[in-house]
């Protein structure tokens, strides 16, 4: 019985461990210069006008990466969480493309900031995280290219479902009947801003999804969604 209790405690501790990149940064304190900063909901983190070359590491909370299109519409590219990294580094092969991106905090978010000059020291201290950093930044670049080239060429429904699935991934909690509650209040106007559309169109599309029982309104500005069915729907369009 005692052995079983110990195993359970071990599993619980493992589940609470921070992502490896955060552990590596903390272990490098005193060797690598970094700061950890709290950003409030809706606060801008960086924009294409910023010239500093900084790597951002998400310790807690959620960050939205988005781009402003030539016609001033906004499109959300990624929603990042604990352990994700983002930023623009001078040495990046496609840095100019990533410089088009804005970042803002969606919730109270703690970020660790490491200047590019300290990044080499960090990776020398913990070389195992280099692959993780490169993979994360490369994935964001790919997301940017695919979203702009493919998703924007399709209809509003696809863009709306895409962002609903992103929100479910970042804020979803299991609910009854296989549904997922997006535990983050968001208005129809917020959704419209995220997908480069307008509130009237988004409201109409949401009503269509509701009629098909793919989403269910919960408390104010909160919805439950059928993630699996939405994925199947978007793959058929």
What's the pLDDT tens digit per position in 166-180? 899 889 999 888 899
CATH at residue 216: 1.10.10.10
Q: Which domain holds residue 125?
A: 8-152
Q: Please give the tally of structural domains in the chain.
A: 2
Last residue of a domain, one of 120, 152, 184: 152
pLDDT given at position 112: 95
Residue 203 has which token pair? 């409201």
CA dist 201 and 206 (Å) reads: 9
Q: Is the pLDDT of residue 2 over 50?
A: no
pLDDT given at position 104: 95
Q: Could you tell me the end-to-end alpha-carbon distance of the chain, in angstroms, rounded to an integer?
A: 54
User: Do 64 and 104 contact (CB within 8 A), yes or no?
Assistant: yes
How much is the pTM?
Answer: 0.78
What's the pLDDT tens digit per position in 43-67? 999 888 887 888 899 999 999 998 8
Asked if residue 119 is part of any domain, the answer here is yes
- Same domain assignment for residues 180 and 97: no
Last residue of a domain, one of 83, 117, 152: 152
- Average of per-residue pLDDT across 218-223: 83
The pLDDT confidence band at residue 227, using thresholds 50, 70 and 90, is very high
CA dist 46 and 214 (Å) reads: 35
User: Do 53 and 88 contact (CB within 8 A), yes or no?
Assistant: yes
Give the rounded distance of the alpha carbon of 151 from its chain centre. Answer: 17
Asked if residue 1 is part of any domain, the answer here is no
CA dist 225 and 217 (Å) reads: 9
CA dist 77 and 194 (Å) reads: 9
Asked if residue 2 is part of any domain, the answer here is no
- Same domain assignment for residues 177 and 146: no
CA dist 37 and 109 (Å) reads: 8
29: DSSP letter? B
For residue 86, report the phi and psi dihedrals to the nearest 5 degrees: -155, 170
Asked if residue 134 is part of any domain, the answer here is yes
Q: Is the pLDDT of residue 197 over 50?
A: yes
CA dist 51 and 132 (Å) reads: 24
What's the pLDDT tens digit per position in 83-105? 888 886 654 444 454 557 899 99
The percentage of residues in the chain with a pLDDT greater than 70, rounded to a whole number, is: 82
Last residue of a domain, one of 124, 152, 180: 152
- Same domain assignment for residues 55 and 115: yes
């Amino acid at each position: 019985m005692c052995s079983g209790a110990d195993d359970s405690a071990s599993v619980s501790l493992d589940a609470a461990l921070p992502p490896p990149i955060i552990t590596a940064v903390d272990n490098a304190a005193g060797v690598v210069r970094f700061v950890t900063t709290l950003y409030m909901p809706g606060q801008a983190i960086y924009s294409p006008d910023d010239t500093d070359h900084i790597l951002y590491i998400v310790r807690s909370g959620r960050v939205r990466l988005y781009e402003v299109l030539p016609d001033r519409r906004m499109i959300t590219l990624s929603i990042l969480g604990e352990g994700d990294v983002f930023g623009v580094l001078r040495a990046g092969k496609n840095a100019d493309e990533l410089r088009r991106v804005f970042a803002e905090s969606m919730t109270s978010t703690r970020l660790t900031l490491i200047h590019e000059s300290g990044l080499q020291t960090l990776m020398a201290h913990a070389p195992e995280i280099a692959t993780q950093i490169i993979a994360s930044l490369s994935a964001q670049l790919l997301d940017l290219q695919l979203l702009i080239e493919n998703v924007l060429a399709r209809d509003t429904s696809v863009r709306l479902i895409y962002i609903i699935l992103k929100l479910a991934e970042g804020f979803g909690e299991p609910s009854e009947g296989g549904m997922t509650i997006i535990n983050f209040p968001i208005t129809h106007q917020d959704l419209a801003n995220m997908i480069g559309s307008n509130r009237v169109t988004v409201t109409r599309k949401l009503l269509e999804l509701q009629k098909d029982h793919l989403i269910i309104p919960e408390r104010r500005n909160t919805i439950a969604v059928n993630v699996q069915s939405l994925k199947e729907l978007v793959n058929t369009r």
